[in-house]
Amino acid sequence: MPWICLTPACARLRLIAAQSVACSALIFVLVGMVSCGRGEPAPTSVEPARQAAPEIAEPVAHSPESFRADVERLVSAGDYDGAVRLLKGASVERQVEHDAAGYLAVAEDMIVLPGVPADVEYDRDRDWVLPGTSDVIENTAWQKAATEFAGRYNALRANQPAEAEAAPAEADDSPIHLAFILLSKAQLPEGEAVAQAFREFAAPDETIQVEGDASADDPEDRGLSLKLGTGEEGMVVVMPMAIPGGEAEQYAMFSLSAIGKGWEPPPYNAHLVVMLYASGRTSPAERVARFTSVLAAVTKASPAVGVYWGSAGATHDSEFFTSVAADHDMRMLIWSGVSVARQEDGRLSLLSTGMEQFGLPNLLLISGETPAGEALPFMYDLLSYVVTRGEAVPEGDTVGWTEEQRLPVRYVESPVDPEKKVFCVELP
């Protein structure tokens, strides 16, 4: 039975926990939760995460392949509430990637393309009109949801690099990294400010060129194009509205900045879309690390109040995000959120939320008598090891901090998605 020693990385994470205000506060919260698990009721602050985790993991079933048929079916049946929920739970980036070309149109006095420059006109052979939209509004909530979704979808489509749609089929292996920066005001950062901030977060040999227009009269015409020294390209677009459905606010509960400090996203009315077309020739860990540097640079150069990173499964406080991103040894703390729950037998469970972006299973760590001050570093230590390893730990292998601590790894059904497996480790 192979054994994996986590001691070197753990020492680093223990130091992080001791030095970080957010982590120290988090450990305090978890210690209270563990002691409550020994016969006392859990504090009410834990209850939302425990109850909401399954619902938030998959707010609405969204299949890019059947998306258009699903929308037409719901609208044809008059189920506008269901259609609205579908759009609010759908992943814009996954749908854009699946569709490969074309815009989403909305019928008003005329057929319009929200989120694209005014000189781009509707093309019936290229674009799809969302059903149930018209100048005589059939359902106000649906009209609004359709317009907002089409605006986000079209903004991503319009700002893709020109060669993306003409790329050969094998280029589909190149992943797209996407995140949203919540803003106190609808303002695109200056390109020079982003480039300067990038040097604070990137590896010494990484470079970036930033070009674009931050002063256009219409906020939706403002955007930045990014080009890394590796040849990878990205873009930043400002959207003068909040992310629909309270999605960013819901995912805040999984961030260490929220669990540790009680942080919640403040009210906001605009956000930035940050996208990077990464190279499929590099490892997932390298791609995520580069995207982290880009995202942190844009965040620091903007009037940011939060960072919603769907692939990490969390919305982070912007100051927490940039401070962690500046230390490459700490980045696992923003690469994955954590869902806190309690087992039926009273033991504490910690579920990671961000490992799928590395093509790896999430971790379910169950803790009994082990102090919470050890459970959290152990969790992130093990996650960091698996990301560095680049492949899942086999069933039956053991992990631990010492030669004596040999905790077996097993695979179980995910507590939030029965169709997925997570690797599970139990601390005494």
Residue range 224-282, pLDDT digits in tens? 999 999 999 999 999 999 988 888 999 999 999 887 778 999 999 999 999 998 887 88
How far CA 101 is from CA of 96, 157, 165, 240, 287, in Å, comes to: 8, 8, 7, 24, 24
Question: What is the predicted pLDDT for the residue at 97?
Answer: 85
How far CA 413 is from CA of 57, 196, 310, 410, 424, in Å, comes to: 14, 45, 22, 10, 9
Structure tokens at 238: 């400002």
Global pTM value: 0.66
Of all residues in the chain, the percent with pLDDT exceeding 90 is 45
Q: What is the mean pLDDT of residues 288-306?
A: 97
pLDDT at 43 over 50: no
How far CA 201 is from CA of 179, 270, 294, 334, 355, in Å, comes to: 17, 25, 8, 14, 22
Let me know: does 306 contact 182? Beta carbons within 8 Å.
yes
Average pLDDT of the chain to the nearest whole number: 80
* Among 18-27, 45-54, 203-212, the least confident range: 45-54
pLDDT at 211 over 50: yes
